[in-house]
Structure 1
Amino acid sequence: MKQLIVLVVCLVAATRADVSHLVTPEPKVPASPYVFSYQAGRAPGHVDRQHTEVSDGSGVIRGAFSYVDPKNQVRTVQYVADEHGFHPQLSHKLEDSAAVQAAKKRHFETYNRIAQEHANHTPGQVALANAPHTSAAVAHATQKHLNAFERIAAEHAAIGRQQEAQRLALAAQSEHSDIDDGQYHPEV
């Protein structure tokens, strides 16, 4: 049985061991230059999207893609991707729909209202006027919890007193006993 326990402990330790020093890092291969381009369409002879990309092997990628949007407008995005990220240039201005414009308006109104409320308070001051109020249900649940906590604390205190009384009684009894004189007396 001891051998099985030792085997399990060794297996668990082995699965948690750091073996990163045993892994050989892959060598950095220099980027190869490439060029690709494609055109596609939903119907034969009809092109509604295209993509071209060029890399000179130095890590800088330049490209462009075009597509026809749902409003039948050709949209083109030219881009450069380098060590600083992806940098697109759009051929068209993005416009928000009416729903997005309304949502942005509500967001900024709410943001500005909250910022103004916070600006009217000194640091560390609690905005009690804007603090949420406790509902009747939350107040009832809170009181119920506190009552249960107090009842359990009282029960634990009573159990503690009872155990202390038993310990003191046992200690008083053993002081008068010949068995416990502070010495160990094995049977002969």
Structure 2
Amino acid sequence: MGHGGNVIAELTTDHREVDELFEKIQDQPVGDVQRRKLADELTIELVRHSVAEEMHLYPAVRKYVDGGDDIADKEIADHSEVEQHLKDLEGVPADDPRFENLVALLKLEVAEHVRDEENRLFPLLEAACSPEALDELGDKVRTAKKTAPTRPHPSAPDTPPGNKLLGPGTGLVDRARDLLTGRGKS
């Protein structure tokens, strides 16, 4: 969840962890209950990551990067699609045929989003910000992930100030539900 380093290193490490979770899901036999548990872990990581980006990365992109509003709007739209698919996947048993389709769709969408961030957004942000600003953003992203929701909430606000006001409370409720149900524990 928190890796250290500047915002680009932090989020890139998150991207690799998500890639690994997709691989672990695919490595399990079709219909295996472990696939459902891994999909829950994937959901938790993707939601935390997305919320942290929406709270801190995209406002910085809007502020520092030329054309940042358009870039941030596109990334937030990507997140909305992924979050809706995560919501659709929530509770679908691993032996349900929809499970395979939803995981495959998610993998494609997430891979495209990651490529865009790593190949376009991150270099632009790195060129526009000081190393100190990138380090500070990394700290903010790590802090946000600790209190972020762990379940998809497609209708929740995804831009400030709404996301900053509601996110931590929603995150607290999600983590309480996860604790009670054992969700996210392998």
Structure showing the higher helix proportion among its residues: 2
Q: Taking structure 2 as the reference length, what is the TM-score of the superposition?
A: 0.18
Structure showing the higher strand proportion among its residues: 1
- Which has more radius of gyration? 1
Q: Comparing both chains, which one has the higher relative contact order based on Cα–Cα distances under 8 Å and sequence gaps of 6 or more?
A: 2
